[in-house]
Amino acid sequence: MNVADSDKLAAGLAKLGWQETAKPEDADLAVVNTCVVRQKAEDRAASYLGRLRRMKEERNGENGLQIAVMGCMVGPRTDDLRARFPYVDVWARPQSFDLILRHLVPDSDLGGEFWPDTFPKPKGPTAFVPIIHGCNKFCTYCIVPYRRGRERSRTIDDIAREVASHCANGVREVTLLGQTVEAYGKDLDDKPDLADLFAAIHDTPGLRRIRFLTSYPRDMTERIIRAVADLPKVCEHFNIPVQAADNDILARMRRGYTIEEYLEWVHRIRDIVPAAAISTDVIVGFCGETEAQFQRTLDLLQELRFDKVHVAAYSPRPGTIAWRHLEDDVPQEEKMRRLHAIEAVQERIATEINDALLGTTQEVLIEGVSRSRTKKQVGADREPPVLSGRTRTNKLVHWPRPPGQTDARLGEMIHVRITRTSPWALRGLPAGRHSVQADAAVPA
C-alpha cells in the first residue's frame, strides 16, 4: 500500500514539474513514507530521518533539503512528532498528498481533474493498484484503522482507468490492494464486489494477470472464490491472515472469526480452486498467549500446509486497544523462540510443497533481471544474469538468461521447467516463450 501511495505522490509531483533523483543527496525534497505496523518498521523510519537530518545540516541556503514525512507514522495530532523531529518540514497522513504538494507549490490547483487524471508511472511489468483504503475492523493489536481511517472504495471506473493506463505503459500484471480487499464495494452506492471488479478489468488490453491482497476471512464470499476459479486472468493465490489458531486469542485480538470458521473458508477455497496457493500471516506472543495456545498455531500450520507464512512477534502499538487494555506478558526471548519454531515448521512444509514442483513446467511472467552470487563465488566473478518472475501461484522463479540474449523481454510469459527447488524459490530452465493469455501450470 505504501509503495502504491509513494508512486501516486511521485505522479502528482511529476505533474507539477518535479523529477525523481537517483540519490537523496541530489534531491531538493525527500519524502519518507512510513509504516508503524511493527516497532521495527517505526525504528527504521526514525533512523532514516536521522540520516536525512545530517544531510540537511550539511546543506545550507537555497539548496536546502526539504523533508516530508507521510504514512502511518503520522496521526491526527503531530505535536509529539514535531517536537521529536523538528527538522521535518511537512507531516502528512496516509493519502494526504495535497498537503505535500501545497507545501512545495502553494498556489497549485489540485482540484478538478488533477488527481483523477494522475496515474503512477509503472516501473516494470507489474503494478499495485489500491482499490479500497482504510479498515473498519479494529483488531486490538493494529494501528491501521487509526491511521488509514475507515474503508473507502474507489469506483470501478476510476480503477479501470488506472489499470488501462498502466497496461498502455507496459504493465501486464496488477495486484489489487486493500487492507481487507474483499470488503471492496460495500461502501459504494451500487455495492459492487471484488468479483464485479475482476470482471470489469479482465479484458483490459495488454493485461495478463490479476492478483489481489489481503483477504480478511469474514469478508470472503463464495462468489469471489468462484470468480477466481472462473476468470482465467485472476491468479489462484490467496493471502488470508489467520494470526492465531486458538479461539481465546482470536477473541482477544478481536479478529471477528473462530478458527472453525477460518478452516471452513480455507476448505471452501481448496474445493472450488484446487490449484490455489494459500499464504497466511501469524502473530506469536500476543498478550496472554500460553504455550498450549501457541502449539495450536503450530498444529494448524501442519494441518493446512500453507505455501507461505509471514510470521511476526507481537509488539504493542501505542494507541491500540491491546496497548491500552492488555498486558504484553510474553517475554521477548519466548516470542522469538515461538517465531523461530513457526519458521522451522514452515520451512519444512514449504520445502515439501516446492519439491513437488521439481520437473514440472510453470508459466512465469518475466519480471526482472538480476545477478546472483553463491557463497562460493564471493570475491570471484559474478554469475551470468538471471531472469526472475513468479508463477500464477506467486512462487518466485529464477532461470539463466540465454547466452547472447540482451533483451530481457520483461512482461512476456515464459514456460520454465523447474530443475531445483528451495523453500523460498524455484530455479529452472526456459522451456519456451508463449503468448497464451493465461493458463495453469502444465506437466513436464
Binding interface with ligand SF4 (CB under 6 A):
135, 137-139, 142, 144-145, 179-180, 216
Pick the closer one to ligand SF4 by CB: 137 or 401: 137
Pick the closer one to ligand SF4 by CB: 65 or 139: 139
Pick the closer one to ligand SF4 by CB: 217 or 411: 217
Helix (H, G, I), strand (E, B) or coil at 103: helix
| Residue among 351, 352, 366, 439 nearest 397 (CA) | 366
How many CB atoms within 10 Å of residue 61? 5
Q: What is the residue whose three cell numbers read 494470526?
A: 243
Rounded to the nearest whole angstrom, what is the least distance from the CB of residue 66 to ligand SF4 in the complex? 31
Pick the closer one to ligand SF4 by CB: 243 or 362: 243
Rounded to the nearest whole angstrom, what is the least distance from the CB of residue 52 to ligand SF4 in the complex? 28
| Residue among 422, 421, 442 nearest 432 (CA) | 442
Residue 360 near residue 444, CB atoms below 8 Å: yes
Rounded to the nearest whole angstrom, what is the least distance from the CB of residue 131 to ligand SF4 in the complex? 15
Report the amino acid identity of residue 229. Answer: A
All three cell numbers of 349: 512444509
All three cell numbers of 105: 507549490
Pick the closer one to ligand SF4 by CB: 179 or 421: 179
Can you tell me the distance from the alpha carbon of 171 to that of 342, in angstroms, rounded to the nearest whole number? 36
Rounded to the nearest whole angstrom, what is the least distance from the CB of residue 267 to ligand SF4 in the complex? 22
CA angle 364, 5, 425 (to 5 degrees): 25
Pick the closer one to ligand SF4 by CB: 142 or 330: 142
Can you tell me the distance from the alpha carbon of 326 to that of 155, in angstroms, rounded to the nearest whole number? 39
Bond prior to 78 in cis (omega within 30° of 0): no
How many Cα neighbours within 13 Å face the side chain of 110? Answer: 18
Rounded to the nearest whole angstrom, what is the least distance from the CB of residue 289 to ligand SF4 in the complex? 16
Q: How many distinct helices (H) and strands (E) make up the chain?
A: 13, 16
Helix (H, G, I), strand (E, B) or coil at 200: helix
Pick the closer one to ligand SF4 by CB: 135 or 426: 135
Rounded to the nearest whole angstrom, what is the least distance from the CB of residue 183 to ligand SF4 in the complex? 9
Rounded to the nearest whole angstrom, what is the least distance from the CB of residue 189 to ligand SF4 in the complex? 23
Indicate the pairing of strand 132-133 with strand 152-153.
antiparallel
Pick the closer one to ligand SF4 by CB: 194 or 441: 194
All three cell numbers of 242: 489467520
CB neighbour list of residue 58: distance below 8 Å, 6 or more residues apart: none
Rounded to the nearest whole angstrom, what is the least distance from the CB of residue 172 to ligand SF4 in the complex? 28
